[in-house]
Structure 1
């Protein structure tokens, strides 16, 4: 009986701590700022833990809205500043050591951007999840630690995505050049049109689906699996696939195998004017 009472007291203490961490010293925080888009060339976001949502705007202005919780009424959890032709958005967690005990969603930063008005969007993200839909810009530079990235309908000249642990999902987009570098997170590229793609992963899997034939698709992983599938069968391709796992499968119409070993497959389709290079030190490789 004494053990049951002790266990109950422990549970009540933990529950009380969780409720206290959620509720004590917190108040609602809402803030919005608007900028004339033609006067802005770059948006930079430095984010610790809030969610970030980018979307297309029908307005001629860039609108940034923040909706969340604050712990310290003397300072704002998010600051929005204009530095010449650059907007800088900074989110910092409040509460010192207790900030790590906050449960649930802390807040969201909404960024609405008119088509083709902004040259560069730079995001430095720690743990917040990232969403982007139907945004157009010249350059996208995302550096992410552990948040998930879901990007759909992006139109850009160059996209650079670096992530340590978070997954990247890039879908229904068009870019002239894509560079992806990940640690343990997966890279899921679906129906993306890009002449040049370079994808590097340490442990995460890489899946390029509904791919259109481009000038260059290069994928390299340490131990992650690689899967590439084409929306339309490629007409002119030079393929090189290498894996120490000895598990390589190529099923493409018109593919002429020129060289095969236990760990390597090489071959061509048509005039072989485009390049597909796949390398995994320990993972499987599938092409179809």
Structure 2
């Protein structure tokens, strides 16, 4: 008898929730806006839960397309503004009768940019995923609280990627000064040209494949393994690797060790003009060609 009562209460609760969702009048929301690329130098996107996608376009205009759900007919879920040479896009979750419940993806903000290097691109997202493909900027800042970030074909002078709880994937890109910071999440970086790079994680793995030798590269994680494999044998590199796990491997041609302790290996390839600094407090370190 008690089980039937509990089931009845659950049925009423679910029915009430579905009814509340229907009463909000949720409907599809689509909008497309374009701007002349020559008049825009900066794009800033602030999104709570929608996915963000940036890609290249053959068009001469910057095109912003949004496709998602609208719960409140009196308020658009995404607002696009143009002030001078800056375009801003803001997405804020709607709080209606459903109490903010979301089922599946809420929507996507897509921005298509011509082959023009913008001065500044800023992407701030709370819950959605971020994808950046074949985009150019002098400076790009991408911040994601919870969600995956995929960047491919990026060309930038400075790139700063920040994640509290999500995975970063950066591939086939050129970023002169690269900074990747994550609290809880893995970092996968493949075939990236960078003069100065800093990759740090509090609780996550760092994997760098087809690494291209630059002036300086620092990788550090408190809890996680670090693997760095070079695309070509470094020609002039000073290596410092430290781990309390006592598991460190450096396999580079012409590498000469100057320090070979349980928790630390140091040495150089040729004159050691460039620097590689690798620190993992509790993880395994592998450095190889």
Bin for the TM-score computed over the shorter chain: over 0.9
Moved more, 200-209 or 47-56: 200-209
- CA RMSD in angstroms comes to 1.8
**Unaligned stretches of 5+ in structure 2?**
none
CA-to-partner distance for each residue in 1:195-220, whole Å, 9 max, x for gaps? 11111111111111111111111011
What SS does the corresponding residue of 1:222 show, helix, strand or coil?
strand
Report the Cα distance in structure 2 between the residues aligned to 1:217 and 1:50, rounded to whole angstroms. Answer: 33
The C-alpha deviation readout for 1:100-138, integer Å capped at 9, x for no partner, is 411101010010011124211001111110111111111
Question: Quick one: distance in 1 between partners of 2:236 and 2:20?
Answer: 60
**Residue 66 of structure 1 aligns with which residue?**
66
Q: Offset of 1:97 from its aligned partner?
A: 7.9
Q: Secondary structure at the match of 1:143?
A: strand
The structure-2 alpha-carbon separation of the partners of 1:282 and 1:55, relative to structure 1 and needing over 3 Å to count, comes to same
Structure 2 vs 1, CA of residues 100 and 260 (structure 1 numbering), >3 Å: closer, same or farther?
farther
User: How far has the Cα of 1:265 moved from its partner?
Assistant: 0.3
Matches within 5 A, 1:25-104: 25=24, 26-96=26-96, 98=98, 100-104=100-104
Paired residue for 1:130? 130
CA distance in 2, matches of 1:191, 1:197: 13
1:81 deviates by 0.2
Residues 1:18 and 1:39: Cα distance change in structure 2 (over 3 Å) = same
Task: Tell whether the 8 Å contact from 1:63 to 1:113 is kept in structure 2 after alignment.
Answer: yes
* Shift of residue 17, structure 1, vs aligned partner: 5.9
Give the distance between the partners of 1:151 and 1:189, measured in 2 at CA. 9
Deviates more, 1:4-13 or 1:147-156: 4-13
Output the CA distance in 2 between the equivalents of 1:111 and 1:231: 32
Equivalent residue, structure 1, for 2:215: 215
- CA–CA separation in structure 2 for the residues paired with 1:209 and 1:54: 24
Instruction: State the aligned residue count.
Output: 287
Instruction: Quote the residue 1:206 is aligned against.
Output: 206
Pairwise CA distance, 1:250:
1.2
Q: Contact 2:71 / 2:96 at 8 angstroms: preserved in 1?
A: no
What corresponds to 1:169 in structure 2?
Answer: 169
Q: Which has the higher strand share?
A: 2
Tell me which residue corresponds to 2:183: 183
* Separation in 1, partners of 2:8, 2:225: 48
Contact 2:72 2:96 in 1 (8 A): no
Shift of 1:13: 4.8
Aligned residues of 2:254 and 2:270 also touching (Cα < 8 A): yes
Cα distance in 2 for partners of 1:69, 1:112 equals 21
Deviates more, 1:95-104 or 1:130-139: 95-104
Per-residue deviation at 1:223?
1.4
TM-score in terms of structure 2 length: 0.93
Q: Quote the offset at 1:5 in angstroms.
A: 3.7
- For 2:49 and 2:257, how far apart are their aligned partners in 1? 49
C-alpha distance in structure 1 between counterparts of 2:150 and 2:16, whole Å: 33
